[in-house]
A and B are shown apart, each in its own frame.
Chain A
Amino acid sequence: MTTRSDTYDRFADKAAAYDVELTRTEVESLPETISDMLETPAVGAPLPWDGCSLPESVTTDPTPAQLNAAVSGVTAASLAVADYGSLVLEATPGGAEPASLFVDEHVAVLREQDIVPDMAAAFKWFGDRFRETRGSAIIATGPSATADMGALVKGAHGPKTVHVVVIP
């Protein structure tokens, strides 16, 4: 049993302000937990951590047609920023970026140890990481949104809901 840290609680609070729910689970029960919350059809990108796998209902390496038809997308979050309730979603050759973007529901899998307290810590991480990998990432806070049509609407071009599954 992991003790819930202050950082975790702060992240959970901030994320809740954007209607982002957190579900905690163990690595072994990850596929089942994801499976339970998914709406199908679902797409995803492989999780980068040993022993962590996706349920069979999630199509990795999707075709454009599958991507378009998918309701849910499951990808890994590399980091979370407690102060802002934000997730860091890295673009990968395995297609994490489209799988988190073309769907109505994004399910992000996050390791609790990857929650950093603030933007200063996050940008330290980005600096080290990008200088090495020249990679790309999105700081995603809540679902996509717009107020351009006269009121706040979720799901402008991207997901309408975001769910985070937290593993130890």
Chain B
Amino acid sequence: MSTDSRAAKAARIRELLDTEGEAVATNTRGFNQGRYDSVARLEDYEGLKDEARAIKEDAIERLPELLDELTETIEENGGTVYVAEDAADANEYIADVCADAEADRVVKSKSMTSEEIEVNDHLHSRDVDVVETDLGEWVLQLADEAPSHIVAPAIHKSRQGIAELFEERFDPDEPLETAEELTMFAREKLGERIEGADVGMTGANFLTADTGTMALVTSEGNARKSVTVPDTHVAVAGVEKIVPSVEDLRPFVELIGRSGTGQDITSYVSLFTPPIDSPTVDFDDPDTPITDGEIDREFHLVLIDNGRLAMREDPDLKETLYCIRCSACSNTCANFQSVGGHAFGGETYSGGIATGWEAGIEGLDTAAEFNDLCTGCSRCVEACPVKIDIPWINTVVRNRINEGGNGGRFDFLVNGLSPDAEDDASPTLQKRVFGNFETLAKLGSATAPLSNWMAHSRPVGWLLERTLGVDHRREFPAFRRQTLVKWARDRDGTAPTDPERRVVLYPDVYTNYMLVERGKAAVRALEALGVAVEVPSVPGSGRPPLSQGMIDTARAKAEGVAEALDPYLEDGDDIVVIEPSDLAMFTGDYERLLPAEDYEPLAANSYELIEYVYGLLENGASPETLSVADSSETVAYHSHCQQRTMSLEAHTVAVLTECGYDVTTSDVECCGMAGSFGYKSQYYDLSMDVGENLAGQLREADADHVLASGTSCTDQIGDLLASEPRHPIELLDPAR
């Protein structure tokens, strides 16, 4: 990406932050909080998610068979099934159905799949009037805008903006102000459109092969009217929407509303088995009872392939097909909360999972437009009701984009920095530098303090921004000449004489070369708790290259880590990790990077530092050996996104509390820095906007100590509060 295109991207993001950011943030954060509240009311949330996941895995596995069964069932019911290869094929078929029905008007209920094929434009070109009847979609149709959210399409528009739009388009007799007035106005206008409709078009959230039933998850009642009134019903759905039986709908019905908008269930879950056994309502014949005569309905199910069957054959994109389009991954994403789907989205889909959809349906170029907005923070993983590893899909697609990448003008600058460039690949220069951060850190440490003076000098800052897109408003972290490994090797032994346990403290790149104090504190605290600590030289975890989509480089790092730690694991040592994103590598991502015999022992024996302290205290160690609170010391603590996904925030809170500190925690999903993301000039404003949400909470807590577990969080909070937070272990350090 060139300096100019980075600047253009930054400008576009800034514009969206200004114009749509506030409405998007309020609504998505509301949905996200609603999700937490609603799933907490379920007795067995995890069990339901497992059930939903298993149904989808099975259904996608057996898709060809289920497709045949569904076709047979629907034909038996009196409907027609058409499997469309692509958008053009689907649109031709739908236009023919409309022509056969001599339709002048189609009323539609909200359907992302119909957005995907752009059927409205096609029907308009055939002189068929298409009216969106979902209120949000109708607003966008009037405004000629694209959805910014897959469930709440007009989430970026304020009430006032909608009032102005109606004013301009309809010039109503009475001015419209309140949400109630706007809704009733829309209801009346759309009611008239539905009365005169010839065809009703819907999507389908799920289709059951055993009965030909389609589930539609809605709230307004417009889908019911669109199906009930006209005599012709066209449903448009991706082929991946089929599940085997009616009973399989149950976990999805219980999860979809909760996961998306935080409602236990939406107002209407329609279970239509078309053609439906209900009289049509012919408003052209207003005085004949609707129940007179035979019910004569037509039903066409248009199943869209458009790349899906190929995705099914692609081991990494396949999981995308499990997606039930609930929007949890959008609402829980800190970047999405700030900027919405007009930035974080492709041609049709938006949010974390959109990378999978757009890569499969439109291609890598479309996915490349927004794929970088996923920072891999992993908060969407636990939010997803079908447990899709969304960050992995984003990483794989990023890797593929890299492989089709460019050779840049400034390649010479990083030749020495990135000796292990991907095979046949050329990620952008910016990605390669951040991906090879370990090399940079080693160099910076070896030449500190000169390297720090250089990095902080204006000419170098300028060069970094021009060539690598490192934002000049960010300070590069200071490298330390004495690494943690060197310190541990050179110091006088204070190891316990008869240790209960032996651990390897993993010297992650940040702790080893930069945040050395937290490493020293960790060694002292563990030793005080009766543990023998070793700090051997171990390679970086591979998190930075993985974040840049450089999977081969990450795999090489993973192999190096496994090799270095193997003798210790053989000896029965535990591995203690300070940096949460590195622990997430060991216990999660390495499963995809290493053979099982290397991954499993490492994952089983690795612990987050304070989680380990928690375990020691639980097993009888005394908190008095640590630095406990004086009277009523208060702490404002920001955990780390991946730490929270691993359910390890509670351990830090518990240990600090046990040591007498009064702890307040942040509830933001991510600090906004997310590794290198916040350093990139094109994303600086977005990163700071996300961070401001956290900074507000930390300021409000007004605590004696501000603590953070991750390096990125430490850098970000340092920039936001102009004072760097410490790691919890530094507060507990016996030497404090």
Contacts and interface: CB of A to CB of B under 8 A. Distances in A.
Interface of A: 61-65, 67-68, 84, 86, 91-98, 101-102, 119-120, 122-124, 126-127, 130-131, 134-153, 155-159
9 contacts: A64-B286, A65-B286, A65-B287, A95-B278, A97-B276, A134-B211, A140-B267, A145-B220, A153-B183
Report the 5 A-B pairs with minimum CB-CB distance, sorted nearest first. Answer: A150-B159, A158-B221, A156-B220, A157-B221, A151-B179
Interface residues of B, number: 71
Nearest to B216: A138
A96 B291 CA distance: 11
Contacts of B286: 63-65, 68
B158 interface: yes
A61 B250 contact: no
Contacts of A95: 278-279, 290-291
A125 to B, nearest CB: 10
B38 to A, nearest CB: 11
A158 B220 contact: yes
A127 B209 CA distance: 12
A73 to B, nearest CB: 12
Contacts of A84: 264-265
Given A93-B278, A144-B220, A148-B135, A130 B213 contact: yes
B253 A134 contact: no
Find the residue from B182, B219, B264 having the highest chain A CB count within 10 A: B219
Contacts of A146: 135-136, 183, 219-220
A58 to B, nearest CB: 14
Interface stretch (B241-249, B389-397, B548-556, B672-680): B241-249
Contacts of A144: 219-221, 267-268
B285 interface: yes
A63 B287 contact: yes
A147 B218 CA distance: 12
A120 B42 CA distance: 13
Interface in B153-193: 154, 158-160, 162, 178-180, 182-184, 186-187, 190-191
Contacts of A64: 195, 281-283, 285-288, 290
B22 interface: no
A97 B295 CA distance: 14
Contacts of B265: 84, 86, 139, 141
Given A134-B212, A136-B278, 13 more contacts: A61-B290, A63-B289, A91-B276, A98-B229, A119-B254, A126-B247, A127-B246, A131-B211, A136-B274, A138-B270, A149-B183, A152-B179, A155-B187
A118 to B, nearest CB: 9
Contacts, number: 201
Contact of A119 (B253, B268, B274, B276): B253
B141 interface: no
B152 interface: yes
A124 B267 CA distance: 21
Interface in B193-209: 195, 208
A149 B155 CA distance: 9
B187 A130 contact: no
A111 B270 CA distance: 21
Interface in B210-226: 210-213, 219-222, 224-225
Q: Which residue, A62, A63, A92, has most C-beta atoms of chain B within 10 A?
A: A63
Which of A140, A149, A156 has the largest count of B CB atoms less than 10 A from its CB? A149
Contacts of B270: 136, 138-139
B478 interface: no
A150 B228 contact: no
A149 B277 contact: no
A156 B290 contact: no
A152 B34 CA distance: 14
Nearest to A96: B278
Contacts of B136: 146, 148
B81 interface: no
Contact of B221 (A68, A141, A147, A156): A156
B534 interface: no
B247 A156 contact: no
B222 A97 contact: no
B344 to A, nearest CB: 21
B666 to A, nearest CB: 27
A148 B279 contact: no
A99 B339 CA distance: 43
B625 interface: no
B220 A98 contact: no
A149 B211 contact: no
Given A64-B283, A124-B247, A158 B224 contact: yes
A74 B245 CA distance: 31
A65 B219 CA distance: 25
Residue from A126, A144, A150, A155 with most neighbouring chain B CB atoms (10 Å): A150
B252 to A, nearest CB: 10
Contacts of A96: 278
Nearest to B261: A147
Nearest to B211: A130
B269 interface: yes
B537 interface: no
A61 to B, nearest CB: 4
Contacts of B285: 64
Given A84-B264, A130-B211, A131-B211, A98 B279 contact: yes
A140 B699 CA distance: 44
Contacts of A148: 134-136, 139, 152, 154, 183, 220
B71 interface: no
A57 B562 CA distance: 79
Contacts of A135: 273, 277
A40 B268 CA distance: 25
Given A62-B289, A64-B290, A65-B286, A136 B269 contact: no
Contacts of A143: 267
B24 to A, nearest CB: 13
B273 A150 contact: no
A119 B291 contact: no
Given A120-B250, A148-B135, A157 B220 contact: yes
B77 A134 contact: yes
A149 B291 contact: no
A127 B247 contact: yes
Nearest to B23: A150
A126 to B, nearest CB: 5
Contact of B271 (A62, A136, A156): A136
B612 interface: no
A156 B245 contact: no
Nearest to A130: B211
Nearest to B276: A136
Given A124-B247, A157-B133, A157-B187, A139 B182 contact: no
B266 A141 contact: yes
A151 B288 CA distance: 39
Q: Which of B208, B220, B292 has the most CB of A within 10 A?
A: B220
Nearest to B286: A65
A136 B273 contact: yes
B250 A119 contact: yes
Contacts of A149: 135, 159, 162, 179-180, 182-183, 186
